[in-house]
Amino acid sequence: MSSNKKYWKSVEELNENSSIVETLRNNEFVEAIPTDEFLSDKDSLSSSSTTRRDFLKYVGFSTAAASLAACEGPVHKSIPYVLQPEQIIPGVADYFATSMFDGFDFANLLVKTREGRPIKIENNTIAGAKFAANARVHASVLSLYDSLRLKVTKVAQKEATWVEADLKIKASLAEAKSKGGQVVLLTNTLASPSTEKLIAEFISQNPTAKHVVYDAVSESAALDAFEAVYGERALVDYDFSKANTIVSIGADFLGDWQGGGFDSGYAQGRIPQKGKMSKHIQFEANMTLSGAAADKRVPMKIADQKLALVKIYNIVTGASVGLGKVANEDEVVKAAQQLKDAGSKGLLVSGVQDKNAQLLVLAINQALTSEAFSTAGTRQIRKGSDAKVAQLLADINAGSVHTLIMSGVNPVYTLANGKAFAEGLKKVKLSVAFSLKEDETASLTNIAIPSTHYLESWNDLMLTKGTYSLVQPTIRPLFSSKQFQEGLLSWNGNSTAYYDYIKANSAAYLNGLTWNKAVHDGVVAGVASTATGGSADFSAAASVLAQSKPLANFELVLYTKTGLGDGQQANNPWLQEFPDPITRVSWDNYLTVSKADAEKLGLENEIVANGGLNGSYATVKVGDATITAPVIIQPGQAVGTIGLALGYGKKAALKEEMQVGVNAYALYNNFNNVQSATLTKADGEHEFACVQSQKTLMGRGDIIKETTLTVFTAKFDEPEVWNPSPMVSLDHKEVKATSVDLWESFDRSVGHHFNLSIDLNACTGCGACVIACHAENNVPVVGKSEVRRSRDMHWLRIDRYYSSEETFAGDNKKKKEFDGLFGEKGSLGGFGEMENPGDNPQVVFQPVMCQHCNHAPCETVCPVAATSHGRQGQNQMAYNRCVGTRYCANNCPYKVRRFNWFLYNNNDEFDFHMNNDLGRMVINPDVNVRSRGVMEKCSMCIQMTQKTILTAKREGREVAVDEFQTACSAACSSGAMVFGDVNNKESKVAKLAEDNRMYHLLESVGTKPNVFYHVKVRNT
């Protein structure tokens, strides 16, 4: 029997005629939320006393601007979904195909979005999408949420609207047209058919206008040479997978040489198959990724590299250009002979910035009829002309430029004579900059217009001739930004939207596909025509090059680092904290010098008590310009040369923590990456943030296992010869360490069991996996001082090892021959010597993450059971249980666990992306953000593996073979990392687990990891 008793809360409720009672009954919220007042009136918003917390309660999102942009429905205010967009399902990720090109980096991509927010970059693997994301492209999603982006148009450094700016630009163009004043469009390489068509229409309407293409890091010498031979300004898209013998003269093709992106093809030939693998010989000054991967590396000055090119040209083509003695002549002749013997399977590449040198590259590859060298499908990603940029600078300073409109360039920062450009801007009647940031150039122009990020833009690209890529927005513009192309349309008097313009222009490139299909796929593969021609006076070029003389002083070799590239993303904390693959230093650029030169000049590096690396300062002088920078003593640096990375030393529109390093562009005279320089020691000592203090492998052969192709082939069926298993004593008999166990093993053959394979032959150390892991797993950035204290939070590190002898085999031999403690073969002195890498060491990279041991030592010592083992092989962390004893870290032989010393999220002491609402928009909601006092480490992307399982379950099917991925394996373009279910015998990882080259890290410890490696084989 129900009660009919009446309950009431106030006396007022007893009055049935009360209007207040009736209102309260019918309306949960009596007073309307004043969203109109907040969102439509800027002054009201800024003067409102409403707290930030209450405001965000009202609007229902964490960040007003970005949430509005993420809302794809017809909602114009930042409020919760009123009409939820059909394509957005909360909790389910959407993927959009797009492409990226910023004038330096380029890739074909899939963009992962959650509730309309782009949060992760993935590689587009559809046929025709040949360019994978490097570390910088993976990090570019964070640059979208840069809180220091230029947000509104500025006219004369004051906030304005696009309409005001547009009217001023149109007026200036009209005045220039009537008075015959020069109009210049200064852009980076665009590689966009639609944009180039727009520019052509603009020039036809403005007869005094011209288009100047400027690449901050020039490839003009190679462009000039190719144009002279084939009549087309482009670069060869080399296919390294078709080369059996590769000779590189100063070309870091695994780095940023001619745009990079060659690592996938290169790695295909580096994995030994049927007793064969490609041979790679590298001549270079700086130690590079390519030099580190080479079978034979020869340190060589640039002047000597030019002579070596002539020598190789003579041998391969049969020419007889007069030439004196060449440095390392035996090695040069040997490489040339091997190249000639390889014939069509040979390839020569060069990074020497000299037109004559690049002409010889074309001549040698023509003579070889190299299959890896093709004039079809040339790269369109570099078009800059040094001569035209120099002419523009002269015109500006002469006052003959009336209107200057810039997009995608920052010449005040990137030009060696940037100050002259800045002075010249004062003589230009109207200067305009489309820029993501109010950078060094935009801050000096009459009009600065916020440019859209590529993830906010429509565009088309032709990265290689015959391949058409589409760029589509994955979020609405976060700020009041305008695309450069929208400006061109306006100035051309064309009211068409740029989307419609691209769509209309795309018909010539779609190859029979529909527009929607092309947008869905992101790439349309076509047939590229072959560049015709192929003749030039190569002998004359060789004769000029043969006269090359060594520089009187040091050779300063300028290069771009894997992390920052040309410096466009200098405000990206993921990239700043990314350790350089070679030096393992983050948050800095520096002068690299050889040990011999360092000893002469009294330059030092030392590891101090807290494990940090300190180094001397040195002053480098080129002409009238001087720079003082810290010094890294770099094994393998050619004697008489110095290395210095471009892309650092920016100040404008950067947070203070990001303003690191020195601006090497100031020494980039005449766009030549080699300069004659003097070097002197300076006062002071620099503190580096270096994450790997150890210098060598020091004979620890169970960490890196290595052999030669000869031994590997001859003893393929006897892996114990070249891949020995560690032995232990059991009952006075030697048995394999892996056969002895302290624990009973579980049956792991039922269900999924995940393994990760890492091939040391394919790994180039590029670091794309490190940044992908950051993005997927919300890994925090801790800053330089914390990295120096060995508190970096990277879940995945790429260890770099040097040899102290000529080879790692020499290291092992030396260790085995130790006899006693003292004397010539004494272990005390011997191990000390092995800590000093050789003058030209061999190098190897080894990615290391949590090994997800089946017998994990971390699990047995955790007093609160915060870390445990899953049925699928993953070592799991329950963060809420963790009390931070760090016993697990002490007990881990691989040192892969990270302790949260501080709260890195929403903490002013760590003013990076996690300290502002906009930056936190990149956070992956599938992975929680860890707090202070807990341990964290690689989870083997458990959220990804579980999603794959649930997706298959929802679709009523089995998980496909090789469908499982982790962030690192999906990002690895070289194929070094393969992830999958080892219980599925058809999977790649199951087959790799049975390979003779397979071994586990520190097998003797008995941890039985679920990550395994493959012995490195060198073709020597």
Query: What type of residue sits at position 514?
Result: T
Say how far apart CA 205 and CA 183 lie, in whole Å.
Answer: 11
Average pLDDT over residues 184-205: 94
Average pLDDT over residues 916-935: 90
pLDDT of res. 42? 53
Average pLDDT over residues 129-140: 92
**Alpha-carbon distances of 828 from 71, 799, 819, rounded to whole Å:** 66, 25, 10
pLDDT of res. 41? 53
In the chain, what percentage of residues exceed pLDDT 70? 89
Judged against a pLDDT cut of 70, whether residue 462 lies above it is answered with yes
Alpha-carbon torsion 20, 23, 29, 31, what sign? negative
- Phi, psi values for residue 303, rounded to 5°: -60, -40
Torsion of CA 879, 884, 888, 889, to 10 degrees: 110
Contact at 8 Å (CB) between 699 and 693?
no
Average pLDDT over residues 873-887: 90
Could you read off the pLDDT of 961-991 as tens digits, one per residue?
999 999 999 999 998 999 999 999 999 999 9
Closest CA relative to residue 938, chosen from 987, 1010, 865, 995: 1010
Max distance between CA atoms of the chain, in angstroms, equals 114
DSSP characters for 215-242? -SS--HHHHHHHHHHHSS--B----GGG
pLDDT of res. 822? 67
Alpha helices by DSSP H, listed for 343-467, are: 355-368, 386-397, 411-414, 418-425
Average pLDDT over residues 604-622: 86
3-class SS letters over 480-498: CCCCHHHHHHHHCCCCCCH
**Alpha-carbon distances of 474 from 134, 486, 614, 735, rounded to whole Å:** 20, 18, 44, 58
Mean pLDDT of the chain: 86
Contact at 8 Å (CB) between 213 and 189?
yes
Alpha helices by DSSP H, listed for 672-826, are: 709-714, 719-722, 768-777, 784-788, 808-816
Say how far apart CA 862 and CA 859 lie, in whole Å.
Answer: 6
Could you read off the pLDDT of 135-149 as tens digits, one per residue?
999 999 999 999 999
Among 74-78, 360-364, 612-616, 831-835, the range with the most confident prediction by mean pLDDT is 360-364
Contact at 8 Å (CB) between 328 and 282?
no
Say how far apart CA 510 and CA 515 lie, in whole Å.
Answer: 7
DSSP letter, residue 517: H
Lowest mean pLDDT among 186-190, 466-470, 690-694, 947-951: 690-694
Judged against a pLDDT cut of 80, whether residue 80 lies above it is answered with no
Which band of pLDDT confidence, cut at 50, 70 and 90, is reported for residue 824? low
Judged against a pLDDT cut of 90, whether residue 315 lies above it is answered with yes
Could you read off the pLDDT of 831-851 as tens digits, one per residue?
666 666 777 888 899 999 999
Read off the pTM.
Answer: 0.89
Query: What type of residue sits at position 424?
Result: G
Average pLDDT over residues 726-747: 80
Average pLDDT over residues 345-366: 93
Could you read off the pLDDT of 20-79 as tens digits, one per residue?
555 555 554 444 444 454 444 555 545 555 554 444 444 444 344 555 555 443 333 444
Could you read off the pLDDT of 505-515 as tens digits, one per residue?
998 898 888 99
Closest CA relative to residue 638, chosen from 919, 945, 285: 285
More confident position, 526 or 383: 383
Closest CA relative to residue 265, chosen from 250, 280, 275: 280
**What burial class does residue 455 get, using C-beta atoms within 10 Å of its C-beta: 0-12 exposed, 13-18 middle, 19+ buried?**
buried
Average pLDDT over residues 698-715: 83
pLDDT of res. 72? 45
Say how far apart CA 584 and CA 689 lie, in whole Å.
Answer: 8
Judged against a pLDDT cut of 80, whether residue 805 lies above it is answered with no
Residues ≥6 apart with Cβ < 8 Å to 401: 181, 182, 183, 184, 392, 395, 424, 427, 428
Contact at 8 Å (CB) between 219 and 491?
no
3-state secondary structure of 600: helix
Q: Pairing between strand 279-284 and 296-299?
A: parallel
- Phi, psi values for residue 12, rounded to 5°: -60, -30
